[in-house]
């Protein structure tokens, strides 16, 4: 992918508020073309019409054919798309035992299958851009895509799954289409409307009532007091996409955490992982066949 500070065309999901809304506003202020999408777009995205963005109604849980058609519509309007941002999300809160398979499926449909299906919509277009392809696909994950949280099993499971799939795709593309770049964003707590839109499961198992009550209290208490500034994060993401400002001269990594709280939590988990690797190294290595000498075939990086 050739990064440029010049105008780009962006296709963004989940634009009604938060990071999606900020992206639309900041990108339009820079003169970029933006296709802003969301459910019930006529009402929920009406406040973005004055920006000059193209507004499309899109539910990321729609069929592959419908997602393909929406992405093609963006190409027809602007001639090309440079950046796809998978931002739409759904947060289901509740203890794992109380979450039904249907509850888990709602999280997976929005947070995993939606971005993966839109990626399928975008890849043929990005592959067509030169010998190595070209384009950037951004995935809004979370610190919950790296750290499991109490009452967050549905959300974390969907984000863990997304990160695993995207990491696999990055190695596939690195082998055959290195011009297509992927970027996973891992924000901590940012001052958006997320905490006001949590989907709490009803109390189903008495044992977990204290946990679920605490999760409700935590969500309400966090709302409006999150440490992260979404405008600042979006500005950094735009820098990364364009190779300007804070990202000038830097290669796009696969993952970037955002927010001091996220960095702290992730470093804590990494320290635990490193300690486990050191403490259990001999046990871990003791399970090979004694005559195993040849290294495993190398995989594409």
The answer to whether 269 is a known catalytic residue is no
DSSP 202: P
**In which region does residue 46 sit, left (phi positive, over 0), alpha (psi from -120 to 50) or beta (all else)?**
alpha
Residue 186 CA to residue 197 CA, distance in Å, equals 19
Q: Pick the catalytic residue: 78, 90, 139, 155?
A: 155
Residue 66 · residue 46 · CB < 8 Å: no
The answer to whether 159 is a known catalytic residue is yes
Residue 288 CA to residue 56 CA, distance in Å, equals 54
CA-nearest of 13, 259, 250 to 137 is 13
The answer to whether 142 is a known catalytic residue is no
Q: Is 252 exposed, middle or buried (0-12, 13-18, 19+ CB in 10 A)?
A: middle
Q: Pick the catalytic residue: 16, 17, 141, 170?
A: 141
CA-nearest of 151, 133, 131 to 218 is 151
Q: Pick the catalytic residue: 70, 107, 142, 159?
A: 159
Residue 89 CA to residue 18 CA, distance in Å, equals 11
The alpha-helical segments, DSSP class H, found in the chain are: 18-29, 41-44, 64-78, 101-108, 114-127, 153-176, 209-222, 230-242, 260-279, 281-285
Residues tagged active-site: 141, 155, 159
């Amino acid at each position: 992918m050739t990064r440029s500070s010049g105008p780009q065309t962006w296709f963004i999901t989940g634009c009604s508020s938060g990071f999606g809304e900020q992206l639309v506003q900041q990108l339009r202020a820079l003169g970029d073309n933006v296709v802003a999408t969301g459910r019930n777009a006529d009402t929920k995205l009406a406040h973005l019409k004055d920006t000059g963005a193209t507004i499309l109604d899109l539910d990321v849980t729609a069929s592959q054919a419908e997602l393909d058609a929406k992405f093609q519509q963006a190409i027809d309007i602007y001639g090309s798309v440079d950046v796809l941002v998978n931002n739409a999300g759904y947060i289901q809160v509740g203890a794992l035992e109380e979450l039904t398979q249907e509850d888990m499926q709602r999280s997976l449909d929005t947070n995993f299958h939606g971005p993966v299906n839109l990626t399928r919509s975008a890849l043929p277009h990005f592959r067509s851009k030169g010998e190595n392809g070209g384009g950037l696909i951004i995935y809004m994950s979370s610190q919950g895509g790296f750290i499991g949280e109490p009452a967050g099993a549905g959300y974390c499971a969907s984000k863990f799954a997304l990160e695993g799939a995207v990491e696999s795709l990055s190695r596939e593309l690195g082998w055959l289409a290195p011009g297509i770049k992927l970027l996973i964003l891992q924000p901590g707590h940012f001052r958006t409307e997320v905490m006001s839109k949590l989907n709490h499961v009803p109390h189903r198992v008495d044992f977990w009532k204290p946990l679920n009550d605490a999760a409700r209290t935590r969500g309400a208490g966090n709302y409006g007091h999150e440490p992260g500034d979404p405008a600042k994060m979006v500005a950094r993401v735009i820098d990364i996409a364009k190779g300007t400002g804070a990202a000038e001269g830097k290669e796009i990594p696969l993952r970037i955490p955002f927010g001091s709280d996220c960095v702290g939590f992730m470093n804590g988990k990494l320290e635990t992982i490193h300690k486990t690797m050191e403490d259990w190294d001999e046990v871990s290595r003791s399970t090979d066949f004694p005559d195993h000498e040849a290294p495993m075939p190398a995989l594409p990086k």
